[in-house]
Amino acid sequence: MIYLDNAATSFPKPEPVYRGMEEFVRASGANPGRGGHRRAVEAEAMINDTRRLLARLLGVPRPERVIFGHNATDGLNMAIKGVLRPGDHAITSVLEHNSVSRPLNRLEQDGVITLTRVPATADHLIDPDEIARAFRPNTRLVALTHASNVTGTIQPVGAIGRIVRERGALLLVDAAQSAGVVPIDCDRDGIDLLAFTGHKGLLGPTGTGGLVAGERAEVRTWREGGTGGDSTRPVQPEEYPHRLEGGTPNVFGIAGLREGVRLLLERGVESVLEHERGLIRTFLESLERPERLTWYGADRVIAERNGDGRVGLVSVNLSGFAPAEVGAILDEQFDIAVRPGLHCAPYAHRHLGSFPQGTVRLSAGILTTADDMRRAAAAFDEVSAG
């Protein structure tokens, strides 16, 4: 099988991730912090070690501000519902995944907040000046994707972070498609809140992810419950990470995530990005008739600028075929897994002009090879030739 759906979840995982999970859960899978016995202490130490590694990878000065939850969606909900208050205004963009759009739309529909959705440029970028223009006196939050899961474009979060900070608001970055693939420095780039998912570029298993909650953000408690620490308090503790981490965490998953993050720190995120961008270029260059595909501008950037400013995914369409049809043919006749459709990002597809059918998305991963891409290109050529 050729797996080109790494933007949905990375697969397969690198061997150390499988091994690390198995070794940890066989040796020590206790409930962290719940009870003073050695196994519980080991589980807590493993989780805190993973926090430290993530803090290093993401440029977070205080590891206790790395909060574990189920996935990026969980982190985004924690942030959006945890910082916005009645009467606030929020700014977002047309490139967002539903895990940003839906919680914001819900708050807007319920009359809690007002919302501005800024457009993207023809190159699928969010212009920092557009963000500056959207500000109102009551703007509290700017919520943006770092790398779009539809267009693959990387947004200028550093420039936007400066604008947001100057105006005293908070910047929430959805790093679902960038953590582990694009260098991130929350401290340098003025990122107050960063939602990450553990099972894509961070190479861990599903059911891991969460939120980085920076010092400027006052995030209200989320899932209230046991923390394994001081049980005398009638309400959730204020301190991080316990403020946002009620309940038993995904210990098995975090043990795998730790190995994924370790591997990324050793290899270097820049090298992963270069590898994945190079693979998309191989796909483009291996096609006999690339002009049969609609590229939404990506072919230009891949060919002329080596994919600069993009992650290793591309959305295409094949004329005469619905995206779902291409996905099914690739799956059934070529054993190639891609993701057709709207990718949970309807506004992004409206922006591209590909709504409601969507596109076919190919996404490379750390273990994808050039040969995988050449075979995918050959399959596209065969399908388009009829």
| Binding residues for ligand PLP (CB under 6 A) | 8, 71-73, 97, 99, 145, 149, 174, 176-177, 197, 209
Q: How far is the CB of 166 from ligand PLP (least distance, A)?
A: 26
8 or 298: CB nearest ligand PLP: 8
99 vs 116 by CB, closer to ligand PLP: 99
Residue 328 CB, shortest distance to ligand PLP, in Å, is: 20
Phi, psi of 26 (to 5 degrees): -75, -35
Compare residues 5 and 44 and give the one whose CB is closer to ligand PLP: 5
CB of 194 to ligand PLP, least distance (A): 12
- Of 174 and 245, CB closest to ligand PLP: 174
Of the pair 75, 214, the CB lying nearest ligand PLP is at 75
- Two tokens, residue 11: 């697969």
Beta carbon of residue 155, minimum distance to ligand PLP (angstroms, whole number): 11
User: Closest approach of Cβ 103 to ligand PLP, in Å?
Assistant: 11
Q: In angstroms, what is the minimal distance from the CB of 77 to ligand PLP? A: 9
As a three-state string, the secondary structure of the chain is: CEECECCCCCCCCCHHHHHHHHHHHHHHCCCCCCCCCHHHHHHHHHHHHHHHHHHHHHCCCCHHHEEEECCHHHHHHHHHHHHCCCCCEEEEECCCCHHHHHHHHHHHHCCCCEEEEECCCCCCCCCHHHHHHHCCCCEEEEEEECECCCCCEECCHHHHHHHHHHCCCEEEEECCCCCCCCCCCHHHHCCCEEEEECCCCCCCCCCCEEEEECCCCCCCCCCCCCCCCCCCCCCCCCCCCHHHCCCCCCHHHHHHHHHHHHHHHHHCHHHHHHHHHHHHHHHHHHCCCHHHEECCCHHHHHHHHCCCCECCEEEEEECCCCHHHHHHHHHHHHCEECEEECCCCHHHHHHHCCCCCCEEEEECCCCCCHHHHHHHHHHHHHHHCC
- 7 vs 131 by CB, closer to ligand PLP: 7
CA distance 194 to 361: 25
Report the residue number, 93 or 145, with the smaller CB distance to ligand PLP.
Answer: 145
From the CB of 45, what's the least distance to ligand PLP, in Å? 26
The smaller minimum CB distance to ligand PLP, of residues 33 and 207, is found at: 207
Return the structure tokens found at 272: 């992963």
